[in-house]
């Protein structure tokens, strides 16, 4: 009887060790994927920000028309642009930009009839 008890406890320890090792491996894999995803998102945000970046002296009537058309599309009301002010991006971190992009992407896009 003691042999069976010893064998069962050895099997228990070996099984629990295997479970903890596999769970630790999964946690490590999730952490690595999360880190890689954060780095890729930061690079993508920087790349998109460079493409979109406009200097204040480059504000033209076309840019104001595009901004007013975008605002009209979202609000469904006529708008008048009185002032265009550019924000300084140096102090922004990737989380703030990602949050803004997620908010913009969550808006429904209605098809025109």
- Is 71 inside a domain boundary? yes
- Is 67 inside a domain boundary? yes
Categorize the per-residue pLDDT at 92 as very low, low, confident or very high, splitting at 50, 70 and 90: low
- Is 91 inside a domain boundary? no
Tokens 């002010």, residue located:
85
pTM (2 d.p.): 0.42
Domain of residue 66 covers 57-85
75 near 108, Cβ under 8 Å?
A: no
- Is 38 inside a domain boundary? no
Specify the number of domains making up the chain.
Answer: 1
pLDDT digits (tens, 9 = 90+) for 45-90: 888 777 766 565 666 777 778 888 888 888 888 877 777 776 666 6
Tokens 């050895």, residue located:
10
Return d(Cα 81, Cα 69) in angstroms, integer: 10
Q: How many Cβ atoms from other residues are within 10 Å of residue 45's Cβ? A: 19
């Amino acid at each position: 009887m003691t042999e069976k008890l010893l064998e069962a406890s050895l099997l228990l320890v070996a099984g629990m060790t295997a479970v903890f090792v596999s769970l630790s491996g999964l946690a490590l894999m999730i952490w690595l994927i999360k880190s890689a995803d954060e780095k890729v998102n930061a690079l993508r945000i920087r790349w998109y920000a460079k493409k979109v970046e406009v200097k204040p002296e480059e504000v033209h009537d076309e840019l104001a028309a595009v901004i007013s058309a975008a605002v009209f599309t979202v609000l469904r009301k006529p708008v008048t642009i009185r002032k265009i002010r550019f924000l300084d991006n140096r102090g922004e971190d990737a989380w703030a930009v990602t949050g803004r992009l997620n908010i913009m992407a969550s808006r429904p896009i209605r098809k025109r009839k």
